[in-house]
Structure 1
Amino acid sequence: MSGIYIHIPFCKQACHYCNFHFSTSLRYKNELIAALLGEISLTKDFFPEAVKNAGAVETIYFGGGTPSLCTKEEIDAILSQISASFEVAAGAEITLEANPDDITEERLLQWKDSGITRLSIGIQSFFEEDLVWMNRAHNSSQAWNSLQLATKYFDNITIDLIYGTPGLTDDKWKQNVDRVISLGIPHISCYALTVEPKTPLQKMIREHKLADVDPDHQSAQFLLLMTWLADAGFEHYEISNFAKPGFRSRHNSSYWKGKPYFGFGPSAHSFDGESRWWNIANNTTYIRSIEQGAIPYEKEVLTPVQQVNEMIMISLRTLEGLDTSRLIQQIKGIAQDEILRMKQTILEESARYISNGLMVREGDWLRLTYEGKLLADGIAADLFFD
């Protein structure tokens, strides 16, 4: 069982905080879509064992960039090529990321006809001043109207919200969350604003044109968020993700469970359980390579210790937590007695986090508390093996 991620590297304009691979020029869009189709077809030749062992594709995710810039014909062609190259399971979850300014009744009907089953809408905020500050392509009216329209055609919708920005008061943050709840949106992904290297946001903060983020402010808003959404019946099933029962993201959940996945498009990553490979993050080089019958990728084989550390990192971010007994079944290349020693070390090292209320233990399982989730990455890193 596996997933497929499709990276569409185009946007109308650059958000100040974004460090993903994208271009605001659509000049090579047709060529890139053709290259995407070529890469999907080539994968069985370049990675035959990975394709053979992957099983049926359960999820397909159009990310970016802005996939809602694709035409219906382009989406149909990509899905058709996936079906020709892989076995796609009946009832597969097919997600499309969309910006509010691209959402119209006509586009919604086209997406449903293409087989899209889930929409991921990049709202970020319902306040005009926040959207201008982020340099988003949509305005506050489009943010609200797009959701009202989308809910008429799709039941399975997730939206993105950003918290911890300098101008976002706790009252405004609550209004953003309450608006989503009021529409019955079943899934919310919430992210603390991160100042990424080489972004316009980092440059403007460094030049004192914008205020820097306040980690304490972000932590406070995250704690408020967890309380509000728990009261509204959402499961906090991953650090940044909240869902009504039955509406977890199947695609993203497969990442956190360590399942294999294929990524297509420039900068996209793939994983087969023991190895990871990723495409070059350059549109022109990607296109030219595929035209010559070669996938332009780099690859690393994870050591057993790296596999253990990844399991610690991704598992502690989830509601279920880290099942240390999984180490024995999942990690290859280490003797069983060594695995048992590593398991015992993890349980012993977690004791201090349990004593200070950041973690709880139930048998072989370790889970983070509300306060522990504020420090998830740091706690995970502290449990890593060298």
Structure 2
Amino acid sequence: MARALYIHWPFCIRKCPYCDFNSHVRQDVDQARWAASMLADLRHEADIAGGEPLESVFFGGGTPSLMPPETVAALLAEAERLWGFAPGIEITLEANPSSVEAANFAALAQAGVNRVSLGIQSLREESLQFLGRLHNVGEALDAVETAQTNFDRVSIDLIYARPGQTEDAWHEELSQALALGTDHMSLYQLTIEPNTRFATDVRLGAFDPLADDPAADLFALTRALTAEAGLPAYEISNHARIGQESRHNLAYWRYRDYFGIGPGAHGRRGGTATLRHKKPENWLAAVENGGDGIKEARDLGLREQASEALLMGLRLAEGLDLGELSGRFSIAQRDLIAPEKLRLYSDLGLVRQDGSRITVTDSGMPLLDGLLAELVPEALVSA
């Protein structure tokens, strides 16, 4: 069974206006103090859930490419000592494509990182400015080339369905991105999240989000172009060459155990949900005073675990097997999915059932949030 480790580095040079992740801008970071606390939080987690080797490690943020490479190396060496690494372990680090961060790529690869996820976000200068990014298109292209030189696997992130974006414009931009030859792409529609600067801008009338119908057209175009290029969608927003899917993210979506350390990190281990303190200073104080950054560790009932597994698994092109979930959580198949809703949406071509396997079709994926609310019984969600 896949076991994954997530390490959260919360610091950024600047907060992007669309971002609702746990990221913070700090003028000074005591690197030695943070490295020591990260290692302590890591050891605490291993004391509780050590044993089987890790199959993936993911450094997320924030901007983990701002971490000193020696800190990355120390964390990986300690994780390997504590858990052991499975053969062919996937070790991913998120990075921004600025020239300063790209200069660290060789050192990060030497530290053990073998996969990088680049936050390109756009290949258009005006869109990068709108999105609050600090890099330009030239730096983005240079960073992809540098990453491909230093890492075995490279993924890029792009944000589309931007205000006023047309199908022709997105076709041209996505085609340019596909020509870069990366083996994985995360392609996200711009979403206006609460408590972000973009949410304030929309409320004040600074811009209007793209309407649902043209956004759906861009979603369909995205699927068509990536499939034609050999990077089909394996999850609602993620596309990869066969065999190059993110094994770390698949652990989440297949609802396997993962351990989360660092500010705001979530984890799932042995039916327990863990949450670290979110504010960097609170997390740091908790680790230094008590040996770990955990704010909450809560046991999940089987029905709540089943609902989470359903909500995650139906994001995947492979869908999920109700028989496997039934055995795993000791819940009858008929109680996992609302049967009348399943028949309705199967008849409408939005969901497909093949024996006990359930998948959301290409037609259903743009409506995924609504489908999940209908298909997953309220008795499970509210368990």
> Common fold, TM-score beyond 0.5?
yes
**Alignment match, 2:7:** 6
* Distance in 2 separating the partners of 1:115 and 1:252: 19
After superposition, where does 1:156-235 map in structure 2 within 5 Å?
Answer: 156-235=153-232
- 1:32 Cα deviation after fit: 2.5
Which of 271, 277, 291 is equivalent to 2:268? 271
**Alignment match, 1:354:** 346
Q: Does 1:37 align with 2:39?
A: yes
**Alignment match, 1:368:** 360
Conserved 8 A contact 2:322-2:333: no
Q: Bigger shift: 323-332 or 194-203?
A: 323-332
Conserved 8 A contact 2:45-2:259: no
Q: Does 1:341 align with 2:334?
A: yes
* Distance in 1 separating the partners of 2:334 and 2:163: 46
The C-alpha deviation readout for 1:301-357, integer Å capped at 9, x for no partner, is: 22222222222211111111121111222114x5xxxx14315x5444311111111
After superposition, where does 1:105-116 map in structure 2 within 5 Å?
Answer: 106-116=103-113
* Distance in 2 separating the partners of 1:56 and 1:137: 38
Conserved 8 A contact 1:328-1:340: yes
**Alignment match, 1:314:** 312
- 1:384 Cα deviation after fit: 1.8
- 1:103 Cα deviation after fit: 6.0
Conserved 8 A contact 1:259-1:273: no
Conserved 8 A contact 1:36-1:265: yes
* Distance in 1 separating the partners of 2:168 and 2:225: 12
* Distance in 1 separating the partners of 2:334 and 2:19: 41
* Distance in 1 separating the partners of 2:102 and 2:310: 43
Structure 2 length-normalised TM: 0.93
Structure 1 length-normalised TM: 0.92
* Distance in 2 separating the partners of 1:278 and 1:297: 6
Gaps of 5+ in 1: none
**Alignment match, 2:298:** 300
Conserved 8 A contact 2:4-2:259: yes
Q: Secondary structure at the match of 2:151?
A: coil
Conserved 8 A contact 2:96-2:120: yes
Letter matched to residue 307 of structure 2: N
Which of 287, 290, 305 is equivalent to 2:287? 290
Conserved 8 A contact 2:223-2:232: no
The C-alpha deviation readout for 1:73-113, integer Å capped at 9, x for no partner, is: 11111112212322222321000111000466642221221
Gaps of 5+ in 2: none
Q: Secondary structure at the match of 1:188?
A: strand
RMSD: 1.7
The C-alpha deviation readout for 1:178-199, integer Å capped at 9, x for no partner, is: 1222121110001111111111
* Distance in 2 separating the partners of 1:303 and 1:379: 24
TM-aligned CA distance change 1:375 to 1:29, over 3 Å: farther
**Alignment match, 1:132:** 129
- 1:26 Cα deviation after fit: 4.3
Q: Secondary structure at the match of 2:55?
A: strand
* Distance in 2 separating the partners of 1:309 and 1:44: 27
* Distance in 1 separating the partners of 2:222 and 2:346: 23
Q: Bigger shift: 311-320 or 256-265?
A: 311-320
TM-aligned CA distance change 1:116 to 1:320, over 3 Å: same
Letter matched to residue 12 of structure 2: C
* Distance in 2 separating the partners of 1:105 and 1:194: 28
- 1:155 Cα deviation after fit: 3.7
Q: Secondary structure at the match of 1:262?
A: strand
**Alignment match, 1:237:** 234
